[in-house]
Amino acid sequence: MQPVDFTTLTAACDELRTQWIPGRTEQVYQRDRFTIAIALRTLKNRGWLTICWHPQAARLCIADPPPKTPDTFTFSDQLRHQLSGLALVAIDTIAPWERVLDLKFARRPGDPAIFHLYVEIMSKYSNVILTDADNLIITAAHQVSGQQSSIRPIQTGQPYELPPALTGTMPSLSEPQERWQERVGLVPGALHRQLLKSYRGLSPALVRSMASSAGLDPNQSTDTLNTSDWQQLFGRWQEWLQLLSSLPASAASDPPAKEKSAKEPKFQPGWTEQGYTVLGWGIIKPAKTVQNLLNSYYTDELNQQDFAQLHHQLSQKLGNILGKLRQKAATFEERLQQSDQADQHREQADLLMAYLQEWEPGMKTITLADFETNKPVTIALNPEKNAVQNAQALYKRHQKLKRARNAVEPLLQEVQEEIQYLEQVEAALTGLDTYKTPEDLQTLQEIREELIGQKYLDVPEQRNRVSDVSEPYRYETPSGFELLIGRNNRQNDLLTFRTAGDYDLWFHTQEIAGSHVLMRLPAGAAPDEADLHFAADLAAHYSRARQSDQVPVVYTTPKYVYKPKGAKPGMAIYKQEKIIWGRPPQGSTYLRKDLS
């Protein structure tokens, strides 16, 4: 994940100063243990200033509104108490080339600051600290005791101290090329490493994009560069510094310009092949603003991390539970097989009672003719018991095994139903194997909430509750009918028992766990064979049999689909069904015709 560097932070602050200062604080909400959102209102608009101290995604930008769930964090409660109703009047840097910002809050624009909110964008050392006008710490996102750090403890009631000063030379627009080239190329080494060692305020992403835009390999050694290469690279260096020095509140070492002219360079945010840039170098997709870029990039990156972690957790938990249930089912089936011998023991007892005269004391086995087939049947005997006692023992064994069957059969059915339900959940997880949109993460969170509700997962201490309902997959059949596919059991139930109309068609793999598929049909419309096969193919794809060549799929009208009383989410029974064979499309292009 690409961290926010000094250049990106400068670009973000430049936009914030232009569009959001002054802005009145209306609300403070903490999204998670690393992120707060401050609702700002200006004369023109209202937005949420997101401040994040995540070790990999620390940032400051205008982002999406927070979810409509209760905020239970103490840090945001303290910020809300101190900052509500105040105006954000300034965003300043504390020192040249430092990624530490001072957000100043006052009663109204022009008044002295009452509170300072220091935002330290420093990777794993990132932090957000609130102080009063005398710079005494009121609260901090992450407090640091004297035992944790003797250099810079961060505790409430103590004076706020700046982070240790950066080492290295500060870049300067007035530095000539000869001196700059001498500093970078003094010791031969990889170009990007030498630049990072020689100057402060740089980042690996910035250096690599700077070298690539100059037509150079960032990994090539500095002693392989010719005069033209150095000139091209220095031109990009000057272009970067010219942009920073043109900002009214720039923290660069050169004096800032008084006014921006239309001809001066501006930030050009956009996505690159390896991340993003605000300098316009190597852009493959431009962004509207720096705020939109940072919000989209880090939301997507963090969602991918959360998705992968949650998917692994759920898959592992389901695998463990299903393994234990299948083992339990195998034990019950084995006991049922043993109970199948109950009738055999009764028949042997009947034979023994019918041929008592054939028994002799001390016999360990006796062979008698079967009543119906007249074939010889060998019966094991206890030599210490007589024939009647042996027959009674066989009758008792028959009764015991018969009682065992009556007790085991409902237990086996219960376990099998539980396995069927969890296989349905497992099929939904299989269909969500990769992250593509925020909808994927929301769908996965709904699966977690469902498993918590069904007592398969414990409630975590801190979790983001799902407030909105995720949407199903949407496709269009060859005839133009809308096709909806449930992505989890919550969606399956909504599609089948809420969304489905009288004229629709309902599809599901036959006796195979999978998604509920609904074809929306207007009154009087009839789907073609191509439409039915299209729906069957997708029903097969979003099931446990997605790797098979052919899968039986049933379809019927929704009025013939029922939910048994007390059934778990996503479970349904049907009748009046027809069968059609679906062929799961392996990598087929029409799987990407998602209308959502």
pLDDT tens string 352-375: 898 888 888 989 999 888 888 888
Mean pLDDT of 6-33: 94
pLDDT tens string 549-583: 999 999 999 999 999 888 899 999 999 999 999 99
Helix/strand/coil percentages in the chain, nearest 5: 40, 20, 40
Mean pLDDT of 68-97: 92
Written in H, E and C, the secondary structure of 1-26 is CCCCCHHHHHHHHHHHHHHHCCEEEE
Mean pLDDT of 536-556: 94
Q: Residue type for 509, please?
A: T
Written as six digits, the tokens of 22 are: 């002054």
**Greater model confidence, 60 or 469:** 60
Q: Is the CB of residue 106 less than 8 Å from the CB of residue 89?
A: yes
Q: Is the CB of residue 251 less than 8 Å from the CB of residue 10?
A: yes
Written as six digits, the tokens of 248 are: 């009214």
Mean pLDDT of 53-67: 93
pLDDT score recorded for residue 589: 46
Q: Is the CB of residue 342 less than 8 Å from the CB of residue 405?
A: yes
Written as six digits, the tokens of 77 are: 């409660």
Q: Is the CB of residue 474 less than 8 Å from the CB of residue 484?
A: yes
Task: Tell me how many degrees the CA angle 580-583-585 measures, rounded to the nearest 5.
Answer: 145
pLDDT band per the 50, 70, 90 thresholds, residue 266: confident
pLDDT band per the 50, 70, 90 thresholds, residue 595: very low
CA distance 572 to 554: 13
Which residue carries 């909808």 as its tokens?
Answer: 439
Beta 100-106 vs 365-369: how paired, if at all?
Answer: unpaired
Which residue carries 């599901």 as its tokens?
Answer: 508
Residues 6+ apart with CB under 8 A from 175: none
* Nearest Cα residue to 505 out of 488, 490, 527, 486: 527
**pLDDT for residue 424 is more than 80:** yes
pLDDT band per the 50, 70, 90 thresholds, residue 205: very high
Q: Is the CB of residue 379 less than 8 Å from the CB of residue 348?
A: yes
- Rounded to a whole number of angstroms, the CA Rg of the chain reads 36
**Greater model confidence, 178 or 591:** 178
The DSSP output letter for 95 is S
Tell me if residue 380 falls in helix, strand or coil.
Answer: strand
Residues 6+ apart with CB under 8 A from 212: 218, 281, 282
pLDDT score recorded for residue 250: 44
CA distance 258 to 172: 18
Mean pLDDT of all residues belonging to the chain? 89
pTM: 0.79
Residues 6+ apart with CB under 8 A from 35: 50, 51, 52, 53, 54
Q: Which residues pair with 14 in a beta bridge?
A: none
Which residue carries 């840097």 as its tokens?
Answer: 93
Written as six digits, the tokens of 596 are: 């959502």
pLDDT score recorded for residue 13: 94
Lowest mean pLDDT among 133-137, 263-267, 403-407, 519-523: 263-267
Mean pLDDT of 170-178: 92
pLDDT score recorded for residue 587: 54
Q: Is the CB of residue 517 less than 8 Å from the CB of residue 538?
A: yes
* Nearest Cα residue to 492 out of 475, 472, 520: 472
Q: What proportion of the chain, given as a percentage, has pLDDT over 90?
A: 67
Q: Is the CB of residue 450 less than 8 Å from the CB of residue 465?
A: no
* Nearest Cα residue to 514 out of 445, 582, 446: 582
Lowest mean pLDDT among 109-123, 151-165, 300-314: 151-165
Residues 6+ apart with CB under 8 A from 587: none
